[in-house]
């Protein structure tokens, strides 16, 4: 995780395009300016960043599902629950599954586990649309760095994702 840059997912560990599922790892850094204020002397990952972590895993699932032709944008978070706290140094397992995709909208269910126990879960809604000018290249580069592109190709996607028409 690079909290200050909102890069929450470190590695995609599995992708099943046919089943619409992804699993990823997110390593909470030992130090971050975020922890200076949340909370001094008792650092915790803010719930909003846990939500963002689930949204990013879901977004990467949707990118692979859509062969990198469309970009998912988070539109709503429903039924979000936080079951515990997590601090610096934790390794989080993030899972997301595709519940619906159609008419430019998608719904996922996502969860985070820490040390085998549920930490957070939510239902997330996305608007899917063509990439805004200039955003596709950095998204593909980030997907490559975290291993999503290799997992997507192994799952049957075109190498590098489809090229938009």
Q: Looking at residue 160, what is its pLDDT? A: 63
Report if residue 114 sits inside a domain. yes
Give a yes or no: residue 164 inside a domain: no
- Split at pLDDT 50, 70, 90, the class of 150 is very high
38 classed as catalytic: yes
Domain enclosing residue 74, as ranges:
3-155
CATH (domain of 20): 3.10.129.10
Distance (Å, rounded) from C-alpha 159 to C-alpha 30? 35
Find the catalytic residue in 38, 42, 65, 100: 38
Pairing of strands 105-114, 117-130: antiparallel
Which tens digits make up the pLDDT trace of 1-42?
A: 988 899 999 999 999 999 999 999 999 999 999 999 999 999
Residue 102 in domain: yes
**Is residue 39 a part of any domain in this protein?**
yes
**In-domain check, residue 160:** no
Total domains in the fold of the chain: 1
φ and ψ at 46, to 5 degrees? Answer: -60, 145
Is 25 contained in some domain?
Answer: yes
Cα Dmax for the chain:
52
Strand, helix or coil at 85? coil
Res. 86: pLDDT tops 50: yes
């Amino acid at each position: 995780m690079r909290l200050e840059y909102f890069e929450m997912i470190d590695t995609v560990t599995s992708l099943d395009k046919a089943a619409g599922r992804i699993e990823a790892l997110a390593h909470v850094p030992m130090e971050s300016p975020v922890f200076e204020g949340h909370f001094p002397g008792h650092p915790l990952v803010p719930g909003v960043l846990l939500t963002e972590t689930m949204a990013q895993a879901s977004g990467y699932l949707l990118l692979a599902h859509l062969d990198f032709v469309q970009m998912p944008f988070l539109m709503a978070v429903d039924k979000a629950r936080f079951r515990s706290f997590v601090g610096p140094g934790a390794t989080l397992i993030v899972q997301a599954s595709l519940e619906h995709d159609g008419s430019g909208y998608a719904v996922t269910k996502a969860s985070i586990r820490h040390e085998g126990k549920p930490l957070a879960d939510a239902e997330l809604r996305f608007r899917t649309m063509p990439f805004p000018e200039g955003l596709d290249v950095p998204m593909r580069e980030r997907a490559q760095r975290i291993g999503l592109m290799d997992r997507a190709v192994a799952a049957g996607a075109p190498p590098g994702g489809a090229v938009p028409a």
